[in-house]
Amino acid sequence: MNSQEDQRKLEARYLMMTQAPVKRLILKMSVPTIISMLVTSIYNMVDSFFVGHLSTEAVAGVGVAFAYMTFINACGFFFGHGSGNYISRALGARRTENAGKMAATGFLSPLLLGAFAGALGLVFMSPLSRALGATEQILPSTNAYLRYILIATPFMMSSLTLNNQLRLQGNARFGMIGIASGAILNILLDPLFIFALNMGVSGASLATAISQLFGWSLLLWGTSREGNVHIRIRNFTPTWEYYKQIISGGLPSLARQALAVVATICLNRMAVHYADPGNEASVVAAFSIVTRVIMMSYALIIGLGQGFQPVCGYNYGAKLYGRVKESYLFCLTLSTAVLIVLATLGYLFAPDIIALFRSEDPELIRVGTHAMRWQCIAFPLMGLCTATNMLLQNINYTWQATFLSMCRQGICFLPAVFIAPWLWGLTGLEAAQAIADALTFLISLPFAIWIIQKLSTESSNAEKL
């Protein structure tokens, strides 16, 4: 970070972030992050699509293993958002040396944690699969898919961290290139390994692992480009001060994703419990498909929010609170409008979307259609919830952001996933996520009003100085 060219580019980015029109800037920042998020969702979707040509049990096995993928996401986003949010504020305050130390610490930590988690999972693979919700019928497929994912865990974790670091320092284009390249490779390798080499579910897992390693390599290369905060091993600073900052910025993401792991496991187990005898794999597979389809739709909103976050971080670090408020309101409004369109399309075409994955299983299509339509009803409410959560996380309101991040998949969903089926059976399970989304909206609304008022006050005070 000492070259004059690096300093020149960082200064130019600072001026762009703090002076360019907010709406145009967010849209510019959002395009690569939306593509990155969509591509990340494709990683999760493409395996289910191809293994759907094998059997319902294969789809269910990949769906159960998705809980472990969510654990990887939890750790990757924890270190990525924790270090990245600090980096954006440090660059906004022009503390580039601190940004470099945080970049190295944030990158190496998930690499080490991932190596430990992957090795432990390989030793206890079958117990891990059962803990994730695999029945004896689904267990062989779950184990087959987990094997290579466990080997690739350190690269998958740190890949997410690198992507978020690049994005939050205002250079999401390199993150998009790394993620998108890996996804394209995954799409090409899946049919080769699954069908041509006759590897089945293991082939899908190996394709994902190789693709993630390739994407990780490109992302690491991207950090060495001029204008980015370079990652240097000598800057690795595993001190409490830096980890405290990572916890502060990443705890909301960790809470959200960790609860998503628990929610996925609970959903798998409840699906098995309330399915008709003999249809357990079909019901588990149906919920797995709906989760991934909704996640892909939600990726548009997450991508938009991630384009908003570096704008927010820079301007908050520069004490330009009026621009922070303007960017938040724009993100909230646009997110809600997009979600209304997506929810309408999802509700109308739910049967056709579910059938793309496994058209030979009518029970899977029936359950999946009902679950997807329930979720589409409440989907537009998540615009306010997501924008508010991201704002609070980015400007270091850790506990408020953590609480809100725990609502959708934890505080609201976990009671719903047990109480609603108890009252209405499988229909209640299909509606559980929609119930949780509505409750999350009601909880988020007072926080949204409060933070708007607070930013207005801080902007007025700053103008008086």
pLDDT at 10: 67
Q: Residue 320: which of 20, 85, 5, 113 has the closest Cα?
A: 20
At residue 1 the predicted structure's pLDDT band, cuts being 50, 70 and 90, is: very low
pLDDT at 38: 79
Q: Is pLDDT larger for residue 87 or for residue 439?
A: 439
Q: Hey, what are 54's tokens?
A: 């094998």
Q: Is pLDDT larger for residue 411 or for residue 40?
A: 411
What letter would DSSP give residue 396? T
Instruction: Say how far apart CA 341 and CA 15 lie, in whole Å.
Output: 35
Residue 244 has pLDDT above 50, yes or no: yes
Summarised one tens digit per residue, pLDDT across range 136-178 is: 889 999 999 999 999 999 999 999 899 888 877 777 677 777 7
Residue 18 has pLDDT above 50, yes or no: yes
- Residue range 351-377: mean pLDDT, rounded: 93
- Residue range 207-220: mean pLDDT, rounded: 91
Residue 465 has pLDDT above 70, yes or no: no
Do residues 48 and 204 touch, judged by C-beta distance below 8 A?
Answer: no
Q: Hey, what are 410's tokens?
A: 């934890």
Residue 459 has pLDDT above 50, yes or no: yes
Residue 124 has pLDDT above 90, yes or no: yes
- Residue range 337-341: mean pLDDT, rounded: 96
Residue 62 has pLDDT above 50, yes or no: yes
- Residue range 96-117: mean pLDDT, rounded: 92
Residue 222 has pLDDT above 90, yes or no: no
Residue 205 has pLDDT above 50, yes or no: yes
Do residues 384 and 336 touch, judged by C-beta distance below 8 A?
Answer: yes
Q: Is pLDDT larger for residue 312 or for residue 419?
A: 419
Place of tokens 């080769």: 192
Instruction: Say how far apart CA 165 and CA 239 lie, in whole Å.
Output: 19
Residue 387 has pLDDT above 90, yes or no: yes
pLDDT at 395: 84
> How many residues in the chain?
465
Residue 464 has pLDDT above 90, yes or no: no
Do residues 271 and 280 touch, judged by C-beta distance below 8 A?
Answer: yes
- What DSSP string describes 32-69? HHHHHHHHHHHHHHHHHHHHTTT-HHHHHHHHHHHHHH
Instruction: Say how far apart CA 261 and CA 264 lie, in whole Å.
Output: 5
Instruction: Say how far apart CA 447 and CA 329 lie, in whole Å.
Output: 13
What would you report as the CA-atom Rg of the chain, rounded to the nearest whole angstrom? 22
Instruction: Say how far apart CA 273 and CA 413 lie, in whole Å.
Output: 18
Q: Is pLDDT larger for residue 244 or for residue 310?
A: 244
Instruction: Say how far apart CA 211 and CA 147 lie, in whole Å.
Output: 15
Write out 63-74 in H/E/C secondary structure. Answer: HHHHHHHHHHHH
Sequence-ordered list of residues with C-beta below 8 angstroms from that of 454, at least 6 positions apart, any chain? none
- Residue range 19-40: mean pLDDT, rounded: 83
| Amino acid occupying residue 46 | V
Summarised one tens digit per residue, pLDDT across range 249-283 is: 888 778 878 888 898 889 988 998 898 888 888 99
Instruction: Say how far apart CA 370 and CA 361 lie, in whole Å.
Output: 15
At residue 76 the predicted structure's pLDDT band, cuts being 50, 70 and 90, is: very high
- For the whole model, what pTM was predicted? 0.77
Angle among Cα 372, 355, 282 to the nearest 5 degrees reads 75
Q: Hey, what are 142's tokens?
A: 């779950």
- Residue range 34-50: mean pLDDT, rounded: 76
Among 118-122, 240-244, 314-318, the range scoring the smallest mean pLDDT is 314-318
Do residues 171 and 87 touch, judged by C-beta distance below 8 A?
Answer: no
